[in-house]
Chain A
Amino acid sequence: MNTNCNDIQLLMLDVLAGSAAQGGQSRLDEHLASCDACRREWALLESITEAPEHRPDPGQEFWDGYLGRLEERMERADSADVLPRASFSLVPRRVLQVAAAIAILAIGVLLGRASLSEDGPFPVPGEMRTELAALDAEAWSVLDRSRTLLLDVANFDASQDLPADLNLDRRQTAASQLVREAADVRSRMSEADRQRMMDLLSDLEVILLQLAHLDAEVDLPQIEMMQNGMDRKALFFKIDIESMNRPDESTSTEVTADRPQPRRSAI
């Protein structure tokens, strides 16, 4: 990418912001006609600024009850207006702030003590634990299969390996399926409070999506982009770390040492 491309990419932002000088759009169009890199950049910006085709609709039950909930809220607000105000305003704000800070510290101490208990701060009922375990198992299944699918791509060396060996058609079908599964698990996982796993699944979705969309004629720059993405996100390292948390692994370090590892640095 040359200096002109850097200028053009700033121009793109100006055009989208409506602040480009006269002739800016023409200059941009002219450059895009002959520059692949900038065309990709422009395509990215267009996809970012495109209005979503569909917004998640909360459902007919939500709409049916909307007016009722609004009326209840307005009635509560009206009732609150006629009640005598609490006398909190007579207490100096500073005193309230100190009291709140002490309360927060006290809660923190209680939580700290509770976290040392066997069940953690919020003991999980048996049935919920089973559900969480099942959800975790689904997540690990996605991680395992993704790892297997992506490992050969991660280790692909354009100077030595044949693209045909990647069996892209089969991998793309598997990648599409895994994207759907990962998204499904992640959406259910938000209730179970597994932020790290959710982030990992989210990163995986991006890479799997790229794999699913590789051109039928092997797109070497796209493969390199995927490899860079996997490296930057330390994907295999994070998958191995999550594997250590599995309750059925006997010795986590032994397991990860036995697994095939990407040739490129994953850290």
Chain B
Amino acid sequence: MFLMTEPVRTLAAESRTELSLREVVRTHKRAVYFLALDLTGNHHDAEDLSQEVFIKAHKGLHRFRGESGLYTWLRRIAINTHLNKRRKKALSMMRFFGDDDAASDTVSDQMSPAESAEGAVLRSHIDRAMERLSPRERTAFVLRHHHDMSIQDVASDMDVSDGTVKSLLFRATRKLRDELAFLRETPSA
């Protein structure tokens, strides 16, 4: 029988805190969901990914040693889960159709009521342009620019080198710039 309220002892030596997954979800669901939204680009996949994160966290919570913050740990689970899923999807499509284009993101066109209509239009064009990024490019980009993480932290979460992160960021920004250049293009002299 599944008990979300069952306490799970962590090895956080300082406080010997007992955490229940229900508490973890209650505290972190919004942050994990919005991270998943940034990674996937649409609500449906974001909810799916965020739930997978908590399912994996539930299975591994007893191994959480507290050397990083709990959200940092959840974030790493989210990133690895997302990239592994995209990798598997790309491989399975290659095997079946011989096509390595596995992108199937849907643009999130929901307007936030707090945003102006024009801001929402601009944002929707940036969101569409972001569909052109590979999963790794998009992940590096959102972590660096939307979550304000240092290059070292991004590299750590993605399990790659700093140089790889820089390369991904360079490619991602250049692709986005090329997609959105018509917004700022100047006439030739």
Q: How distant is A267 from chain B, measured CB to nearest CB, in Å?
A: 18
| Max chain A C-beta neighbours (<10 A), residue from B25, B58, B121 | B121
A190 closest partner in B (C-beta): B109
Chain B residue nearest to A54 (CB atoms) is: B112
Asked if B121 contacts A54 (CB within 8 A), the reply is no
Name the one of B123, B144, B183, B187 contacting A52, with C-beta atoms under 8 angstroms.
Answer: B123
In contact, A66 and B29 (Cβ under 8 angstroms): yes
Residues of A within 8 A of B126 (CB): 47-48
CB distance from B158 to the nearest CB of A (A): 14
Bound-complex Cα distance A40 to B182 (A)? 12
Check if A224 is an interface residue, CB within 8 A of chain B. yes
State whether A206 touches B169 (Cβ < 8 A): no
Q: How large is the interface on A (under 10, 10 to 19, 20 to 34, 35 or more residues)?
A: 35 or more
Which residues of chain A from 201 to 215 have any CB-CB distance to chain B below 8 Å in the complex? 202, 205-206, 209-210, 212
- Select the stretch in A13-21, A119-127, A128-136, A242-250 that faces chain B: A13-21
Q: Closest CB of chain A to B166's CB: distance in Å?
A: 4
Binds B, one of A25-33, A69-77, A139-147, A148-156: A69-77
* Contact (A44, B118) CB under 8 Å given A17-B169, A187-B109: no
Q: Contact: A44 with B115, CB < 8 Å?
A: no
B188 cross-chain contacts in A, Cβ below 8 A? 1
B4 nearest CB neighbor, chain A only: A71
Most B CB within 10 A of own CB, among A48, A49, A212: A48
| Contact residues in A for B29 (Cβ distance below 8 Å) | 63, 66-67
Partner of B169 from A16, A47, A50, A77 at Cβ < 8 Å:
A16
Residues in A neighbouring B25, C-beta threshold 8 A:
66-67, 70
From A83-91, A160-168, A225-233, the one touching the partner chain is A225-233
A80 within 8 Å of B by Cβ?
Answer: no
Residues on A with C-beta less than 8 A from B54 are: 70
- Decide if B173 touches A53 in the complex (CB within 8 Å): no
Q: Name 11 extra pairs, CB < 8 A, besides A19-B167, A221-B186.
A: A17-B169, A37-B186, A44-B181, A44-B183, A48-B126, A51-B148, A69-B51, A73-B51, A75-B2, A190-B109, A202-B125
Chain B residues at the A interface, C-beta cutoff of 8 Å: 2, 4, 22, 25-26, 29-30, 33-34, 37-38, 43, 47, 51, 54-55, 58, 96, 108-112, 114-115, 117-126, 128-129, 141, 144-148, 151, 163, 165-167, 169-170, 173-174, 176-177, 180-189
Chain A interfacial positions (CB closer than 8 Å to B): 1, 13-14, 16-19, 36-37, 40-41, 43-45, 47-58, 62-63, 66-67, 69-71, 73-75, 77-78, 97, 100, 176, 179-180, 183, 186-187, 190, 202, 205-206, 209-210, 212, 221, 224-225, 228-229, 232
